[in-house]
Structure 1
Amino acid sequence: MTSVNIAKTSADNIDINNLPINSEEYKINDWLIKYKKSHILHSQCSTTEKCADSTYPPCPFCMFTNSLQLPHLPEMVFPNNVLSLTHSSGVQIEFNALDALKLVSNGELALKVSYADAWKESRDPSNLMEKIKPFDWTFSTNYSGSFSGPLHIESTEERIDIERLKEREKILFYQELMLFEDELHDNGIASCTVKIRVMPSSFFILLRYFLRVDGVMVRINDTRYFHDFSTQYILKEYTNRESPVQRLHVPLQMFGDPNLIGPHLPISMGSYEKLSWINSVTKDTGPALTT
């Protein structure tokens, strides 16, 4: 089922809450899969008087800035882009921009990102004060999703069968959502995306943070989810890959495509987990889990 909700807006005062939101849901076996997709976040408060009054809910811009307290947000944030999967047991997995950006280091931690000195040396010193911020200006995040419901998480030796994913199987549902993106003052790119594909036998999700700082380094944080519908668990794999540019002896065009450059980046860290649940008949209503 697909629905598009459209409301009339004023050209002088557009409220992002009233902008068109495209949404779709897909039901398969014990899963309800939904996505929402809409416009980017405003660059400033759209309802100043209401946001100054605590009796009103804040606009999306104020909600993001108040929750994150970063010196500034990425150039493009998609507050209404959400992918969620709900199981009949009550387990829910969701992917959204706010939770992803909550894991970006801000000024309170006084942390300097890796390769910052190399980046500074490669820039024009006349305008570095604008480029170097007292927080992780690459918006690096190891966000791997938001969980709730009776979910049990444990380490596992089992791995996602990549060869199985290469097999030709009918795709019943597919969607890709951008959560945020920033061009790092024209010195590279940082982006966070999530995509899902559903087949008759399984579903596969890839949540990816991609960073390229021109002339300095490349980083890819990938979280993969795979669920075979014949099982009562999901395999989750998180990997952090990164490398200085000078160690990557690859064609220049590869640097713009994470699918091409990714295999050339060494794995710095990886974790492998099994997410399981009790079926809907005897489900447990335990505490919510969020990461």
Structure 2
Amino acid sequence: MSTVSHGFKSSKQDFAFGPWKVTAAKTHIMKSKDIERLAEEMHMPSLPEMLFGDNVLRIQHARGFGIEFNAVDALKRVNNMRDTVKVACAQEWQESRADSEHSKEVVKRYDWTYTTDYRGTLLGEDLQIKVSPTTERIDLEKLKAREQIMFFEDVLLFEDELHDHGVSMISVKIRVMPTSFFVLLRFFLRVDGVLIRINDTRLYHEAGQDYMLREFSTRESKVSALQHVPPALYTDPNEIAQHLPLKLMECEKLELPDYEPPSKPTSTPQ
């Protein structure tokens, strides 16, 4: 796939939301030599065709802690997946992608669909966000309320057409409203004629709260079980998601580090 950009302009946007700074950076696809170097470091025979290694969505508190979403950390979660998709074309596909030097190596277990269960990268050195399971859920109905969107961005992290056998991609969207922000990190996989899988991470924070809510879900179906769904929907993650059975749901509370108590105001005469 050509890495020539068609009039593409790099962009970096910052948006202040109370004590938070939201940064969305979008730039060019990584150069092939950088991709090769990264693949070597990650012990993977190949990486996605379109890898936006410098794209990032970062949400950082003035005191340093926060969360960000980037492609390299998403790829680091690929090898950890317990299952790999076995399809007739997988072997042929791998051979066609393997460089001569790689093909001589013994390729360790490798998920050629790049399925990742990435949920974001926590930021902060001295102050860390504490993650714990919760039964509290994001109020999606509340999010449907027509509230002014003060900032919106959609950042693509990687995409691969699986050697013309489908698509594997991950992108992250944020929208900031006057009183909250909402993030959707979505991994979408379609292996033509075989299966469709969506891994979603939703992150929600209401201004003034000392925590965020994060929900991770996996939805998946064999294509043979989707006979009732028009094939035109297979390529639209938003449409097909509602037809895929839920396989996993994990809800977490991300507690923000204790705030330093503000110093007592000195009394001023009225």
Letter in 2 for 1:142: D
The partner residue of 2:64 within 83, 90, 93 is: 90
Aligned to 1:61: 35
2:54 corresponds to 1:80: yes
CA distance in 1, matches of 2:31, 2:221: 34
Deviates more, 1:191-200 or 1:97-106: 97-106
**Offset at 1:154?**
1.2
Q: Deviations over 1:92-117 (max 9, x none)?
A: 201100000111128xx9x7614x1x
Of stretches 217-226 and 22-31 in structure 1, the one that deviates more from structure 2 is: 22-31
Shift of 1:230: 2.8
User: Alpha carbons of 1:252 and 1:62: their partners in 2 closer, same or farther (altered >3 Å)?
Assistant: closer
- Give 1:189-200 correspondences, 5 Å limit: 189-200=167-178
SS at match of 1:259: helix
Alignment pair present for 1:38 and 2:27: yes
Cross-structure match for 1:215: 193
Q: 185, 191, 204: which is aligned to 2:163?
A: 185
Which whole-Å deviations, capped at 9, do the CAs of 1:251-272 have from their partners, x for residues lacking one?
0111000110101111111110
In 1: Cα distance, 2:36 partner to 2:181 partner: 35
| 1:243 correspondence with 2:221 | yes
The TM-score with structure 2 as length reference comes to 0.83
Cα contact 1:89–1:277 (8 A) shared by 2: no
Name the aligned partner's letter for residue 161 of structure 1. Answer: D
Does the CA-based 8 Å contact 1:88-1:280 persist in structure 2? no
Q: CA deviation at 1:124?
A: 10
Q: Matched residues in 1 for 2:63 and 2:247: separation?
A: 35
Structure 1 residues 215-247: Cα deviation after superposition (integer angstroms, max 9, x where no partner): 000000000001111311100000011110111
Report if the CA contact (8 A) 2:159-2:167 is conserved. Answer: yes
Regions of 4+ moved over 4 Å: 131-134
Query: Aligned ranges for residues 95-244 of structure 1 at < 5 Å?
Result: 95-105=69-79, 113-114=84-85, 116=86, 119-120=87-88, 123=89, 127=92, 130=95, 134=107, 135-149=110-124, 150-244=128-222
Change over 3 Å in CA distance of 1:257–1:278 after alignment to 2: same
Unaligned runs of 5+ in 2: 99-106, 263-270
SS at match of 1:185: helix
Q: Confirm whether residue 26 of structure 1 aligns to residue 15 of structure 2.
A: yes
Change (3 A) 1:280 1:21: farther
Deviations 1:130-176 (A, max 9, x none): 36985111000000000023211111111011111111000000000
SS of match in other structure, 2:138:
coil
Judged with a 3 Å threshold, the aligned counterparts in structure 2 of structure 1 residues 163 and 152 are, in CA distance, closer, same or farther, namely same
- CA RMSD across the alignment: 2.6
1:138 aligned partner, one-letter code:
T
Distance across 2 between alignment mates of 1:63 and 1:95: 21
TM-score after normalising by structure 1: 0.77
Tell me the secondary structure at the aligned position of residue 163 of structure 2: coil
Per the alignment, do residues 132 and 245 of structure 1 end up closer, same or farther by CA in structure 2, a change over 3 Å counting? farther
- Contact 1:90/1:280 (CA < 8 Å) preserved in 2? no
